[in-house]
Structure 1
Amino acid sequence: MAGAQPGVHALQLKPVCVSESLKRGSRFMKWDEDSSTVTPVTLRVDPQGYFLYWTDQNKETDLLDITYIKDARTGKCTKTPKEAKLRELLDVGNLVGRIENRMLTVVTGPDMVNIQYLNFMAFQEDVAKEWADELFSLASNLLAQNMVPDAHIYLIFRMFSTDRKRVETALESCNLPFSKSIMLKGLRRVGRGKVCN
């Protein structure tokens, strides 16, 4: 066919870009239908786009690896609270508009069979929509899903900086770069606990 281009040109790989509003965070109500609990949280994404995390009023933080997100929904495809008690806790009677337009349901799991739902309610519809769109974009980014090994090692150091010695020992035992200087130079290899050139 004249003028046909290889399929590579059709695929545009875009670098991970986290919007300022996701980095800064937004207020949500996190709810769980099984336990009928509602917790005010601030939802954020780290600047590199690795994690979705939320912090409650007691400064306790939970996080989720964004690569485990299968979908982020708002509108009619979200989960909405069915129990009257839960609806009362969310105080949905005092809000104007449709409840599902304020809901953010994050579908997560290691595969499409073993999934769970994280349920959040925003205070404005546009906030829920922005988070659903941005999270889905981050989760489906091909560059993020196929990170280079050095990025994974950097991520391990960031995650476990409070317990650095244990992480370094674990990395060293797997013959992986076990100190920040070795990891960042990228030219050295680790062998039996000694740095080799």
Structure 2
Amino acid sequence: MAKAFDFQWRIPVPERLQKGDIFERWDEECSSLESCCLVKVDENGFFIYWKSDGKEGQVLEISQVNDIRLGLPPKINDPKVIIDLEQKGTGGLEARTVTICSGLDFVNINYTPMIARDPETAKVPH
């Protein structure tokens, strides 16, 4: 006789990720900075989403996330934007950057750099 198996599909999502934090988001496709994005993860850990004032929100399915990298600064060619980002937070830009690597395969990868206000926020368990 087969043994009953209790499959626990819910992985606990830390409260701080559900509540969210404010990040600056660099869009590499448009070379634009989206300020004051509230970034959250849903309670089941299926989606990460962000929204800033005056813009539509965006959603990324967690199953498409390949990697989350700390310390990978965004590729910004405009020195004014770099100076602005450095002045908006404490600590170096590299220490505050969280880059979400996502895509449907391992060849076509999208990088979404999120810059926290301080290094401690960037290091929240991800």
TM-score range, shorter chain: 0.7 to 0.9
RMSD over equivalenced CA pairs, Å: 2.0
Amino acid at match of 2:53: Q
Q: What's the offset of the Cα at 1:114?
A: 1.2
Tell me which residue corresponds to 1:119: 113
Deviation (angstroms), 1:37:
1.4
TM-score by length of 1: 0.54
- Cα distance in 1, alignment partners of residues 103 and 62 from structure 2: 10
Cα separation, 1, equivalents of 2:90 and 2:59: 30
Q: Aligned match of 2:62 in 63, 66, 87?
A: 66
- TM-aligned CA deviation for residue 62 of structure 1: 0.4
1:114/1:88 CA distance change after superposition, 3 Å: same
Unaligned runs of 5+ in 2: 1-7
Q: 2:53 matched to 1:28?
A: no
Pick 1 or 2: higher relative contact order, CA cutoff 8 A, min separation 6: 2
Contact 1:16 1:49 in 2 (8 A): yes
Superimposed CA distance per residue, residues 114-147 of structure 1 (whole angstroms, 9 cap, x where no aligned partner): 11101110001011111xx42xxxxxxxxxxxxx
Q: Could you say which structure has the higher strand fraction? A: 2
Cross-structure match for 1:42: 38
Query: Highest CA radius of gyration, 1 or 2?
Result: 1
Q: Secondary structure at the match of 1:48?
A: coil
Which has the larger helix fraction? 1
Q: Of 65, 68, 76, which aligns to 1:82? A: 76
Distance 1:94 1:109, change over 3 A: closer
Q: Give the match's secondary structure for 2:43.
A: coil
Identify the residue that residue 53 of structure 2 maps to in structure 1.
57
Provide the C-alpha distance between the structure 2 equivalents of 1:117 and 1:81, rounded to a whole number of angstroms. 10
Any idea what SS the aligned residue of 2:34 has? strand
Secondary structure of 1:60's partner? coil
The runs of 4+ residues in structure 1 deviating greater than 6 Å are none
- From 87, 99, 102, the equivalent of 2:93 is 99
Amino acid at match of 1:60: E
Deviation of 1:68 (Å): 0.4
Question: What are structure 1's unaligned runs of at least 5 residues?
Answer: 1-12, 135-197
Question: Between Structure 1 and Structure 2, how many residues are aligned?
Answer: 117
Q: CA deviation at 1:65?
A: 0.2
